Amino acid sequence: MRNIKNIIASIKHDKLMHRVLQNSTYLFSSNTVSSGLTTIQGILAAVILGPKDYGILGLIITFASNVNRLLSFRMGELVIKFGGAYLESGEKNKAASVIKLAGYTEIISSIIAYLLLLLTAPLASKFILKNPDLSKWIMIYGVALLANFVTETSTAILQLANKYKTIAAFNLAQNIVTAIWIVVLFIINGNLFQVLLAYLVGKFIFGFGIFLSGIIQLKSLVGDDWRTQSVNQVENKWEIVKFAFSTNLSGTVNLLIRDSEVLWFGYFWSSEIVGYYKFGLAILNPIMMPINTLITTTYPEINRLISQKLWNPLRNLIKKTTLISLLWTGSCTLGLILLGDWLLSFIKDGKYLPSLPITLVLLIGYGCANILFWNRNLLLAFNRPNTPLFIMGIFGVIKIVVMLVTVPKFGYLYQAGLLSAYFVFSIGLISLLGWMQIPKSSPISATQEV
């Protein structure tokens, strides 16, 4: 208890924590409003559609998003790691080359992802949505892949330029437009296709807004002549390629094991149960979103501290941000336990009450991910991208095998429990290994000014 009090007291005098929290505040203030808007969107969409159509909506959006992520090389992390390192050493031309290489790669992968979506939509509508007529709706929503053709790279540019306000502003704008659209649909008693279009328009606003902002910011970040820089200037291409494929494989593992759970529910159960599960996830969003801002703002700082071998500030940063996420997650969990039944009883005449047990089971795993949010980024910064991949892969295979064999027998709450168990074991081990990478003390010559 004394250690916790000491950590809380030291946060007041920590310059690094002030910078992280200030940047997080820009995103958090936007995300607080966005979280409220997202919650309103989800509730109103659920009320408009009912559990069955709300489940179909979730299946369409999740399938299209996951096809995109299947071919995503997470260019944002690559730009921050390699482009950020060049900027730290004053090599702006090479940083510009890394950014251009990432942008070109992301554009090509987005186009391929949409073509793959067109090919697989009929199969998804038949086996997951269980309605072949819905394939055209998947194709329509998939246009969002093209709208976000270079979002990862552009977001990383804004992060490196410390323009977190811009990211927050477009995130907020996206949610405002979508929320207003859905409120209108609630008033006029809209349908599933109209709700789907509301989410699609929001994706366009965010994708193009972040892209244009990133292009504008490039000049001040890497110099006026960034357009003329050749990608051939990048010296460590093989290391970059390995990093990109490793992060892609890591994302693919998450995709199959964690982020396709809505699709697995669609495969095993009816769209109505998918609606309950989707609504349960929507309840978790306000709990997860504030901590997601810490992921965005701490990764560049973790990467910088490791490159400068400032181990004590690194440990302090992790301890303090972990404590903040623990207090937030714990408070939300307690509130959900005490008030969840009462709150859900007002929504659609209590039709979504079956979502609460799903949420509480999922919160065990998602809560662990929230508290130890830095787990993967720490190992990435230590240039060990394959370690999280290996761990997630091992636990993921176990989870999928157990799920396929036992879920039809034990039910959907059991399936949610398997996902939580996967989070707890994989994230716990990744966090432990990352923490063990940090040397006990900084070199005498290393400055402690952060």
Report the phi/psi class of residue 191: left, alpha or beta, with left for phi > 0 and alpha for psi in -120 to 50: beta
Q: Would you call 89 helix, strand, or coil by DSSP?
A: coil
pLDDT 10s digits, 365-394: 999 999 999 998 899 889 888 898 889 889
Mean pLDDT, the chain, whole residue set: 87
Return the half-sphere exposure (C-beta side, CA atoms, 13 A cut-off) of residue 279.
31
Give yes or no for residue 447 having a pLDDT over 50.
no
Choice between 436 and 31, residue whose per-residue pLDDT is larger:
436
Q: What average pLDDT does range 179-198 have in this prediction?
A: 94
Q: What average pLDDT does range 198-217 have in this prediction?
A: 94
Q: What average pLDDT does range 24-50 have in this prediction?
A: 75
Token representation of residue 147: 């709208």
pLDDT 10s digits, 263-296: 999 999 999 999 999 999 988 988 887 787 777 7
Rounded Cα–Cα distance for residues 105 and 113 (Å): 12
DSSP H or E segment with residue 206:
helix 192-222
Question: Mind giving me the DSSP string for 34-51?
Answer: HHHHHHHHHHHHHHHHHH
Structure confidence at residue 233 (pLDDT): 80
Structure confidence at residue 340 (pLDDT): 94
Q: What average pLDDT does range 130-147 have in this prediction?
A: 91
Q: What average pLDDT does range 249-267 have in this prediction?
A: 84
pLDDT 10s digits, 388-438: 888 988 999 999 999 999 999 999 999 999 999 999 999 999 999 999 999
| Least confident stretch, 199-213, 226-240, 269-283, 302-316 | 226-240
Structure confidence at residue 361 (pLDDT): 97
pTM: 0.78
Q: What average pLDDT does range 164-186 have in this prediction?
A: 91
pLDDT 10s digits, 54-87: 999 999 999 998 998 888 878 888 898 899 888 9
Structure confidence at residue 149 (pLDDT): 87
